[in-house]
Amino acid sequence: MKKSIPFLLAVFLFILTGFDNEQVYYGPYNPVFMLRSEMEKNVKLEGPKTILNPGKIYLKDHFIFINEKYRGIHVIDNTNPEDPTNVAFINVDGCIDIAMKNNVLYADNAVDLIAIKLDEHITDIEVTKRIKNTFPEPVSPEGRELTWKERQAAPEEAILVRWDLN
Amino acid sequence: MKYLIAVLLLFPILVSAQNDSEDIREEKSFALGVVPQYAITNGFRIDLDFRLNDKNHWLVVAPQMYISSKSNLDWDYNSMAGGGVEIQHKIFMKREFSEINPYFSYGPIFSFFSVKDDGLAAQEFTENGGNYIGLVEDEITTNIYKIGGNLIFGLHFLIMDNFYLDSYIGTGIRFSFDDKTSGLHDYYNEWWGDMGYSGTLMAGGFRFGVMF
């Protein structure tokens, strides 16, 4: 029996190498990347936008902050609870979570943690602090990570900021 | 299958046993051979053996070529082309050639593969003033470089003075890298025969050719 082991191993290896069953599943979501420099300068205050894919909600004084998943934060003026008004949108790529202390809004900018200083009426914002690579890459809504082909195709300095539905 | 492999292993001995002559004293200085098992990986290898001196030292230069325009059992690429060379210092145990000539050899090997496969390519787009990068399906080319070395022990069977069969076994090591990823992905590095294999391996096979 011992003498036949090398032969059996050789046959086994040939059998193993005769198949290629790898199936790469991409799913319904496609990754979207940004170069770091682009991502950092794209944190900006914009006019109000329609809420399409809401995430977490944060209440601070008379403002309501609603996360638009992977894209930013809606600012709702709730001075009159009978008639809340969508007043602004803070563009933060890759944002899925927010918190606030005093007049500083903390958010995840994809893999970075940033602190955004807001003025009283939210007419201007300033990124006062950025801690790079604090968070892992965002997984897709279905829970998958990047495949190796996706990693291979992405530019070296690119950061995954969101997943778009096909 | 077991008997088939056994027959293949013993074949050189069976053939050489038909030659009744004693030690072949004629000096050989050059050999030209092929290694058939390279065809499994869509490759072709020629072994050029040069005698270095009047002793038992030889130099083996083995250029290799790989080409495939379709996927095979092991690979699902669109096309592949490559080349390489192995250089070995071969030392026969005996100075004079006889019917059976044990030897060992060692030396470096280099291979290059250019693989075209369906993949993804980056495509920039602008949205709301921001510059984003999406991925689109495309044919991509991956260049794989593999270096390493082998240490071989073999039996060289001289047949009818000018033909030889050679069965060998040994060990080796490979280091591979490509031009697409920071570290070669497992896709090209699943087993020791892969184009992008890194690690130690067992070498073995047959070759045959002519000798002058």
Q: Tens digit of pLDDT for each residue in B60-71?
A: 999 999 998 876
pLDDT at B14: 46
Candidate from B5, B129, B185 with C-beta closest to A148: B185
ipTM of model = 0.82
User: Which residues of chain B lie closer than 8 angstroms to A19, CB-CB?
Assistant: 73
Q: Does B117 touch chain A (CB under 8 A)?
A: no
Top pLDDT among B145 and A156 is at B145
Q: Does B81 touch chain A (CB under 8 A)?
A: no
User: Which residues of chain B lie closer than 8 angstroms to A93, CB-CB?
Assistant: 130
Q: Hey, are the CB atoms on A152 and B193 less than 8 Å from each other?
A: no
pLDDT at B1: 46
Q: Hey, are the CB atoms on B73 and A34 less than 8 Å from each other?
A: no
Top pLDDT among B4 and A50 is at A50
Q: Hey, are the CB atoms on B130 and A93 less than 8 Å from each other?
A: yes
Using the Cα atoms of residue A59, residue A64, residue A68 and residue A72 in order, give the sign of their dihedral: negative
pLDDT at B3: 52
Q: Does A31 touch chain B (CB under 8 A)?
A: yes
CA B55 to chain centre: 27
Mean pLDDT confidence for B186-206: 85
pLDDT at B91: 95
Mean pLDDT confidence for B105-128: 92
Query: Residue A82 pLDDT more than 70?
Result: yes
Tokens of B179: 């031009």
User: Which residues of chain A lie closer than 8 angstroms to B191, CB-CB?
Assistant: 13, 16-17
User: Which is nearest to B123 in space by CA: B142, B101, B138, B107?
Assistant: B138
| Identity of the residue numbered B49 | D
Mean per-residue pLDDT of chain B: 84
What is the Cα gyration radius of chain A?
23
pLDDT at B184: 66
Mean pLDDT confidence for A34-44: 95
Interface test with A, best of B135, B143, B197 (most A CBs within 10 A): B135
Q: Tens digit of pLDDT for each residue in B126-174?
A: 998 999 999 998 888 889 999 999 999 999 999 888 899 999 999 999 9
Mean per-residue pLDDT of chain A: 86
Is B68 in a helix, a strand, or coil?
Answer: strand
Residue found under tokens 């699902």: B76
A125 falls in which pLDDT band (50, 70, 90)?
Answer: very high
Query: Residue A13 pLDDT more than 70?
Result: no
Query: Residue A120 pLDDT more than 90?
Result: no
Q: Does B140 touch chain A (CB under 8 A)?
A: yes
pLDDT at B21: 47
Domain-wise residue ranges, chain B: 26-113+142-211
Using the Cα atoms of residue B151, residue B153, residue B158 and residue B159 in order, give the sign of their dihedral: negative
Residue of chain B whose alpha carbon sits nearest to that of A4: B2
Candidate from A4, A7, A153 with C-beta closest to B120: A153
Query: Residue A160 pLDDT more than 70?
Result: yes
Which of A12-16, B49-53, B143-147, B193-197 shows the lowest mean pLDDT across its residues?
A: A12-16
B11 falls in which pLDDT band (50, 70, 90)?
Answer: very low
pLDDT at B148: 96
Look up the pTM and report it.
0.64
Share above pLDDT 90 across residues of chain B, in percent, rounded to a whole number: 49
- Domains in chain A: ranges and CATH: 28-165 (2.40.128)
Candidate from A10, A20, A35 with C-beta closest to B5: A10
Which listed CATH number (2.60.40.1180, 3.40.50.720, 2.40.50.140, 2.40.160.20) goes with B26-113+142-211?
2.40.160.20
